[in-house]
Amino acid sequence: MTKVLVLYYSSYGHIEQMADAMAQGARDAGAQVDVLRVPETAPDAVVKAAHFKTDTAHDVIAGPEALKAYDAIIVGAPTRFGRMPGQMAAFWDTAGGLWMSGALHGKVGGAFTSTATQHGGQETTLLGIITNLLHFGLTIVGLDYG
Ligand SMILES: Cc1cc2nc3c(=O)[nH]c(=O)nc-3n(C[C@H](O)[C@H](O)[C@H](O)COP(=O)(O)O)c2cc1C
C-alpha cells in the first residue's frame, strides 16, 4: 500500500486542520497515511505570549531519517512574511544527509499553505516549499483546475 506522510507546522491550528483534511483525502484514495509535525523552535516564552496552540493529536517527527519510509511527502506550513516558517525550514536544514545520499529521489512531493490575507504570499510560500522538495529530488504533484 502506498505510504503517505503529511508533514506540517502550525502555530494556531489552521494548517493542522488542513493536514487532517489532506490525510483524509489520501486515505479515501487508498493510501496509508501518517500525520506528523516538525519540532517547535520558538522559545517557550514566545509560544506562551503569542498563544500558540500546543494541544495536538499529532506526534513530532522523530527526525529526517523518518522521511525515507514514505512514497509521498506532503508538506504543509502557514505563510510567515511571504515564506515558510523557520520551524519548517529548520527541519529541512537538518536533512543534509538525505540530500547527500539521494534518499528521497523519486518520491512524490506536494505542498499546502494558508495565509490571513488575500495576496498574502501563498504562491511565494508554496514555491519555497516546492523548491526545497525539488532540491531533495522529489517529483512535485499539484492539483489541476478540475
Ligand atoms: C509571524 C507571522 C507572520 C505572518 N505572515 C503572514 C503573511 O506574510 N501573509 C499573510 O497573509 N498572513 C501571514 N500570517 C498569518 C498566517 O499565515 C495565517 O494566519 C495562517 O493561516 C496561520 O496558520 P496556523 O494557524 O497553522 O499557524 C502571519 C502570521 C504570523 C504569526
Q: 108-112 and 32-37 as β-strands: parallel, antiparallel, unpaired?
A: unpaired
pLDDT of 68-121, one tens digit each?
A: 999 999 999 999 999 999 999 999 999 999 999 999 999 999 999 999 999 999
Report yes or no: 106 and 71 within 8 Å, Cβ to Cβ: no
- Nearest atom, ligand 1, residue 114 CA: 21
How far apart (Å, rounded) are the C-alpha atoms in residues 134 and 129?
A: 9
How far apart (Å, rounded) are the C-alpha atoms in residues 99 and 35?
A: 22
Q: Is the CB of 125 under 6 A from ligand 1?
A: no
pLDDT of 30-82, one tens digit each?
A: 999 999 999 999 999 999 999 999 999 999 999 999 999 999 999 999 999 99
Q: Is the CB of 82 under 6 A from ligand 1?
A: yes
Q: Is the CB of 52 under 6 A from ligand 1?
A: no
Q: Is the CB of 51 under 6 A from ligand 1?
A: no
Report yes or no: 126 and 111 within 8 Å, Cβ to Cβ: yes
pTM to 2 decimals? 0.97
- Nearest atom, ligand 1, residue 16 CA: 26
* Other Cβ atoms closer than 10 A to 68: 11
Q: Is the CB of 124 under 6 A from ligand 1?
A: no
